């Protein structure tokens, strides 16, 4: 199929349809409203369901009801809207239903702003709602990748009967890039969902889709079942990219999404200046590519790790968890809707490399501050 | 008399009700209301394509007592779940069963908008003027002066406002088609309530409109009364503020 120039939000919306998710519930919020506008036109063309709800609280719960039918369901929102959906996300995870949610993140906390940010990392990867549950979380860094991951997300949601969240940011949602949709996409057999969906108790015992288990042993059993799924995700769904990682690197950058893309530009420019730096880009934020990152961290040539995020430092805590203090982890972040330029990233990298060179000269004193925060 | 006639079954458990002992308190009318819903599903032949949405509150375990598919909603969100389900499966019969804390308090937004969109669902709204499951706190429907654990000196309307009349409130909307308030505190009223519940399902089956039946119900435990006293209390105190009757129905031309 030909490449089409599309806005991120619209490309993701089209990807959802092509993955068979013809049931969409929404509430408008910047910077992702084009998803809703696009699907308001497109859903009737494919005989799908489009419904604008009265709030994101209702959207989350419509998704809950809709997912109970066994059909593919989708919603999109941005940070404050996703916060309102947390109630339903916890219930959907507890009831083991598949659904896909898109979070085009904007600056927070509170009403925050409408410009790109990555400050929902904790919420997306550590829970957000109440209870022992996780959401499979994927972070694209280009519109093509957003399309590909969105389509895969529906298969993953059904494989695990669990919510899957695509986290982009205002930049991914608003920019335009050429994208290609696969000519054929096997979205899996939706009739397989008839094994657990509420389809009417015709010739079978009634089915109850719920997250209530008053018997603590039953509740623990449910939580352990969920836990086993998350362990399986850790074994089977880790995604990441290595960019220009080589034995000459002294510094390893860890960054994801839009910020990683900017880091790549900085790395390319530094390469032309004769400076070699590599990037490790987690694509799945949960499950986090722990083993793979640790391998890169353990490389002898790597002296320190620089985490760059569009937040005050959230993913850096996962990196620190992986590194376990064996090497210094430094952090650079801008937030509030500010997208650092490649120049800004380059400056950070160069400064760190200079410091590292100085440290090598007078290594006897050796104390390195764990994080150099700026911005 | 012929033997055949002597052995004819004239009253049995509806197929839509599971053969399970309920957890409800003695004198609570949830059991009666469950039965009215089950009888209606049976009579209209809907059990095999029905999906109920359970609330949070005393009837949270309703799915154990019914013989049809069920979803369990978060507090107050049953109309949103019902909407999501019904939009995708318009061929199925979707009903919510909600108490007053669930529907009139935390779920006020969801019921108003589901009704206003005219979702083709049936809502059974049980109003006993108190929070039952959490142990008798003030509900939006608690009567002025009524004593509960969170208004121990009686509901003071200057502080908490007046009890919400949900049927009247929803009837001000243009879209919802059928709204009726009934009671189940006496046999005569139970018969009338049954007609309303059945009618509500008929409107859904024919794809006519959103339908809601508000059922005045007793809570002897949290009212601190015997079951008999509770039925008298309901008639004496609730009828004047929550008048029975049909507030909205599709007219003969189908225009609402």
Q: Which residue has the tokens 């059922």?
A: B215
Amino acid A45: pLDDT: 97
Q: Which chain B residues are Cβ-neighbours of A64 within 8 angstroms?
A: 71, 73-74, 77, 80-81, 84
Outline where DSSP puts E strands in B147-204. Answer: 178-183
Amino acid B50: pLDDT: 98
Amino acid A254: pLDDT: 98
Confidence of residue B3 (pLDDT cuts 50, 70, 90): low
Amino acid A372: pLDDT: 45
Whether residue A49 and residue B87 make contact (CB cut-off 8 A), yes or no, is: yes
* Smallest Cα distance from A190 to chain B, Å: 14
Average pLDDT on A88-106 reads 98
The whole-angstrom separation of Cα A308 and Cα A255 is 5
Whether residue B47 and residue A87 make contact (CB cut-off 8 A), yes or no, is: no
Angle at A355 between CA A353 and CA A358, to 5 degrees: 110
Packing angle of the helix pair A216-236, A79-94 (nearest 10 deg): 120
* Smallest Cα distance from B115 to chain A, Å: 12
User: Choosing among A44, A84, A199, A201, which should be mutated to test the B contact, i.e. which has the most B CBs within 10 A?
Assistant: A201
> Per the structure block, which two tokens stand in for A80?
């404050």
Q: Which of B84, B88, B113 sits opposite A64 (nearest CB)?
A: B84
Q: Which chain B residues are Cβ-neighbours of A73 within 8 angstroms?
A: 84, 88
Q: Which of A55, A57, A68 sits opposite B85 (nearest CB)?
A: A68
Dihedral of CA A282/A288/A290/A292: which sign? negative
Q: Does A87 contact chain B (CB < 8 Å)?
A: yes
Q: Which chain A residues are Cβ-neighbours of B71 within 8 angstroms?
A: 64-65, 68, 198, 208-210
Amino acid B4: pLDDT: 61
Q: Does A73 contact chain B (CB < 8 Å)?
A: yes
Residue A1 has pLDDT above 80, yes or no: no
Whether residue A198 and residue B113 make contact (CB cut-off 8 A), yes or no, is: no
The whole-angstrom separation of Cα A338 and Cα A170 is 11
DSSP state of B73: P
User: Choosing among B88, B89, B94, B96, which should be mutated to test the A contact, i.e. which has the most A CBs within 10 A?
Assistant: B88
Amino acid B180: pLDDT: 98
Average pLDDT on B25-54 reads 98
Q: Which chain B residues are Cβ-neighbours of A53 within 8 angstroms?
A: 80, 83, 113
Whether residue A49 and residue B49 make contact (CB cut-off 8 A), yes or no, is: no
Mean pLDDT of chain B: 95
* Smallest Cα distance from B251 to chain A, Å: 28
Q: Which of A55, A60, A211 sits opposite B72 (nearest CB)?
A: A211
DSSP characters over A173-240? HH-EEEE---S------GGGGGGTS----SSS---EE-----SHHHHHHHHHHHHHHHHHHHHH---E
Whether residue A211 and residue B83 make contact (CB cut-off 8 A), yes or no, is: no
Whether residue B60 and residue A61 make contact (CB cut-off 8 A), yes or no, is: no
Chain A, chain B: beta-carbon pairs less than 8 Å apart: 129
Residue B256: CB atoms within 10 A of its CB come to: 17
Amino acid A37: pLDDT: 98
Peptide bond into A123 cis (omega under 30): no
> Per the structure block, which two tokens stand in for A200?
């009417």
Which chain A residue is nearest to residue B93, measuring alpha carbons? A200
- Residues A230-286 have pLDDT tens digits of 999 999 999 999 999 999 999 999 999 999 999 999 999 999 999 999 999 999 999
Tell which residue, B77, B81, B73, has the closest CA to residue B109.
Answer: B77
The whole-angstrom separation of Cα B61 and Cα A214 is 10
Amino acid A362: pLDDT: 58
Q: Which chain B residues are Cβ-neighbours of A23 within 8 angstroms?
A: 87-88
Is pLDDT larger for residue A240 or for residue A368?
A240
Whether residue A87 and residue B74 make contact (CB cut-off 8 A), yes or no, is: yes
Peptide bond into B77 cis (omega under 30): no
Backbone angles phi, psi at B104, to 5 degrees: -95, -15
Which range, of A318-322, A366-370, B126-130, B236-240, averages the lowest pLDDT? Answer: A366-370
Is pLDDT larger for residue B175 or for residue B253?
B175
The whole-angstrom separation of Cα A288 and Cα B16 is 47
The reported pTM is 0.95
- Residues B212-232 have pLDDT tens digits of 999 999 999 999 999 999 999
Whether residue B83 and residue A64 make contact (CB cut-off 8 A), yes or no, is: no
The whole-angstrom separation of Cα A13 and Cα A38 is 7
Tell which residue, A272, A235, A267, has the closest CA to residue A251.
Answer: A267
Whether residue A65 and residue B66 make contact (CB cut-off 8 A), yes or no, is: no
Instruction: Using alpha carbons, list the distances in angstroms from residue A173 to A13, A103, A169, A339.
Output: 10, 10, 6, 14
Tell which residue, B57, B63, B124, B126, has the closest CA to residue B96.
Answer: B124
The whole-angstrom separation of Cα A126 and Cα A89 is 13
A310: exposed, middle or buried (Cβ count in 10 Å: 0-12, 13-18, 19+): buried
Q: Are strands A284-286 and A136-138 parallel, antiparallel or unpaired?
A: antiparallel
Q: Does A88 contact chain B (CB < 8 Å)?
A: yes
User: Choosing among B38, B79, B81, which should be mutated to test the A contact, i.e. which has the most A CBs within 10 A?
Assistant: B81
> Per the structure block, which two tokens stand in for A268?
């390319």
Q: Which of B18, B69, B80 sits opposite A198 (nearest CB)?
A: B69
Amino acid A373: pLDDT: 46
> Per the structure block, which two tokens stand in for B245?
């009757």
Amino acid A312: pLDDT: 98
Residue A361 has pLDDT above 90, yes or no: no
The whole-angstrom separation of Cα B125 and Cα A191 is 34
Dihedral of CA A285/A288/A292/A293: which sign? positive
Whether residue A201 and residue B82 make contact (CB cut-off 8 A), yes or no, is: no
Length of chain A: 375
Are A249 and A272 a contacting pair, CB within 8 Å?
A: no
Average pLDDT on A334-338 reads 96
Whether residue A65 and residue B110 make contact (CB cut-off 8 A), yes or no, is: no
Confidence of residue A192 (pLDDT cuts 50, 70, 90): confident
* Smallest Cα distance from A57 to chain B, Å: 8
B195: exposed, middle or buried (Cβ count in 10 Å: 0-12, 13-18, 19+): middle
- Residues B103-116 have pLDDT tens digits of 999 999 999 999 99
Whether residue A71 and residue B88 make contact (CB cut-off 8 A), yes or no, is: yes
Amino acid A374: pLDDT: 42
Peptide bond into B191 cis (omega under 30): no
Contacts of A1 (CB under 8 A, 6+ apart): A180, A181, A182, A183
Residue A287 has pLDDT above 80, yes or no: yes
> Per the structure block, which two tokens stand in for B2?
């012929």
> Per the structure block, which two tokens stand in for A164?
């899957």
Residue A365 has pLDDT above 60, yes or no: no
Which chain A residue is nearest to residue B61, measuring alpha carbons? A212
- Residues A99-147 have pLDDT tens digits of 999 999 999 999 999 999 999 999 999 989 999 999 999 999 999 999 9
Mean pLDDT of chain A: 94
Q: Are strands A23-26 and A304-309 parallel, antiparallel or unpaired?
A: unpaired
DSSP characters over B108-124? HHHHHHHHHHT-S-EEE
Amino acid A101: pLDDT: 98
Contacts of B200 (CB under 8 A, 6+ apart): B40, B122, B123, B124, B178, B180, B211, B212, B213
Q: Which chain A residues are Cβ-neighbours of B68 within 8 angstroms?
A: 200-201, 206
Which chain A residue is nearest to residue B87, measuring alpha carbons? A49
Contacts of A364 (CB under 8 A, 6+ apart): none
Which chain B residue is nearest to residue A211, measuring alpha carbons? B72
Whether residue A201 and residue B68 make contact (CB cut-off 8 A), yes or no, is: yes
Which range, of A246-255, A310-319, A349-358, B247-256, averages the lowest pLDDT? Answer: B247-256
Residue A368 has pLDDT above 80, yes or no: no
Which range, of A2-16, A22-36, A346-360, averages the lowest pLDDT? Answer: A346-360
Reported as half-sphere exposure (CB side, CA atoms, 13 A), residue B90 has a value of 11
Q: Which chain B residues are Cβ-neighbours of A209 within 8 angstroms?
A: 69-72
Average pLDDT on B124-148 reads 97
Which chain B residue is nearest to residue A209, measuring alpha carbons? B71
Residue B234: CB atoms within 10 A of its CB come to: 26
Q: Are strands A278-282 and A240-243 parallel, antiparallel or unpaired?
A: antiparallel
Residue A316 has pLDDT above 90, yes or no: yes
* Smallest Cα distance from B231 to chain A, Å: 31
Residue B71 has pLDDT above 60, yes or no: yes
End-to-end CA, chain A? 43
Are A342 and A349 a contacting pair, CB within 8 Å?
A: no
Outline where DSSP puts E strands in chain B. Answer: 50-54, 69-72, 93-99, 122-127, 178-183, 211-216, 245-248
Q: Which residue has the tokens 């997306």?
A: A124
Task: Please give the ipTM for the structure prediction.
Answer: 0.95
Q: Which of A62, A68, A95 sits opposite B80 (nearest CB)?
A: A62
Are A245 and A296 a contacting pair, CB within 8 Å?
A: yes
């Amino acid at each position: 199929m030909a490449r089409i120039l599309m806005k991120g939000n619209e490309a993701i919306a089209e990807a959802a349809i092509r993955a068979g998710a013809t049931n969409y519930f929404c509430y408008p919020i910047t910077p992702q409203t084009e998803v809703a506008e696009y699907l308001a036109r497109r859903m009737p063309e494919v005989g799908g369901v489009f419904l604008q709800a009265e709030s994101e609280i209702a959207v989350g719960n419509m998704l809950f009801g809709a997912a109970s039918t066994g059909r593919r369901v989708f919603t999109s929102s941005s940070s404050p809207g996703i916060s309102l959906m947390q109630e339903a996300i916890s219930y959907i995870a507890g009831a083991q239903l598949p659904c896909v949610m898109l979070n085009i993140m904007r600056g927070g906390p509170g009403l925050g702003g409408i410009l790109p940010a990555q400050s929902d990392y904790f919420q997306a990867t550590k829970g957000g709602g109440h209870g022992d549950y996780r959401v499979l979380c994927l972070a694209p860094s280009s519109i093509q990748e957003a399309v590909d991951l969105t389509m895969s997300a529906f298969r993953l949601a059904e494989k695990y009967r669990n919510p899957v969240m695509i986290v982009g940011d205002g930049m991914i949602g608003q920019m335009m890039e050429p994208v290609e949709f696969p000519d054929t996409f096997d979205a899996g057999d939706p009739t397989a969902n008839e094994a657990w969906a509420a389809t009417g108790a015709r010739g079978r015992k009634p089915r109850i889709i719920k997250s209530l288990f008053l018997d603590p042993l039953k509740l623990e059993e449910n939580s352990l079942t969920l836990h086993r799924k998350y362990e399986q995700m850790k074994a089977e769904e880790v995604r990441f990219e290595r960019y220009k990682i080589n034995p000459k690197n002294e510094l390893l950058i860890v960054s994801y999404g839009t910020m990683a893309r900017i880091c790549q530009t900085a790395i390319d420019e530094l390469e032309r200046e004769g400076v070699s730096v590599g990037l490790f880009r987690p694509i799945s934020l949960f499950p986090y590519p722990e083993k793979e990152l640790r391998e890169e961290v353990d490389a002898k040539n790597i002296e320190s790790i620089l985490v760059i995020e569009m937040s005050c430092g959230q993913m850096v805590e996962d990196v620190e968890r992986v590194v376990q203090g064996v090497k210094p982890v430094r952090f650079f972040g801008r937030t509030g809707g500010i997208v650092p330029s490649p120049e800004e990233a380059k400056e950070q990298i160069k400064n760190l490399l200079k410091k590292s060179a100085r440290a090598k000269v007078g290594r006897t004193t050796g104390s390195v501050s764990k994080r150099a925060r700026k911005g | 008399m012929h033997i055949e006639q002597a052995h004819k079954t004239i009253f049995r458990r509806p197929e839509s009700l599971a053969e399970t002992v309920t957890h409800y308190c003695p004198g609570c009318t949830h059991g009666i209301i469950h039965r009215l819903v089950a009888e209606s599903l049976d009579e209209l032949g809907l059990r095999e394509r029905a999906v109920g949405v359970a609330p949070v509150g005393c009837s949270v375990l309703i799915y154990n007592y019914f013989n049809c598919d069920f979803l369990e909603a978060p507090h107050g969100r049953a109309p949103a779940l019902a909407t999501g389900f019904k939009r995708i499966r318009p061929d199925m019969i979707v009903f919510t069963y909600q108490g007053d804390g669930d529907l009139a308090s935390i779920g006020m937004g969801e019921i108003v908008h589901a009704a206003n969109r005219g979702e083709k669902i049936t809502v059974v709204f049980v109003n006993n003027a108190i929070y039952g499951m959490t142990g008798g706190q003030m509900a939006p429907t608690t009567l002025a002066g009524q004593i509960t654990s969170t208004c121990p000196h009686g509901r003071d309307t200057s502080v908490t406002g007046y009890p919400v009349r949900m049927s009247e409130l929803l009837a001000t909307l243009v879209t919802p088609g059928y709204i009726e308030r009934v009671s189940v505190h006496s046999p005569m009223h139970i018969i009338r309530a049954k007609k309303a519940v059945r009618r509500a399902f008929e409107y859904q089956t024919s794809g006519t409109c959103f339908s809601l039946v508000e059922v005045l119900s007793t809570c002897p435990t949290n009212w601190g009364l015997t079951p008999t006293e509770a039925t008298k209390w309901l008639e004496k105190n609730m009828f004047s503020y929550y008048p029975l009757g049909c507030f909205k129905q599709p007219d003969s031309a189908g225009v609402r």
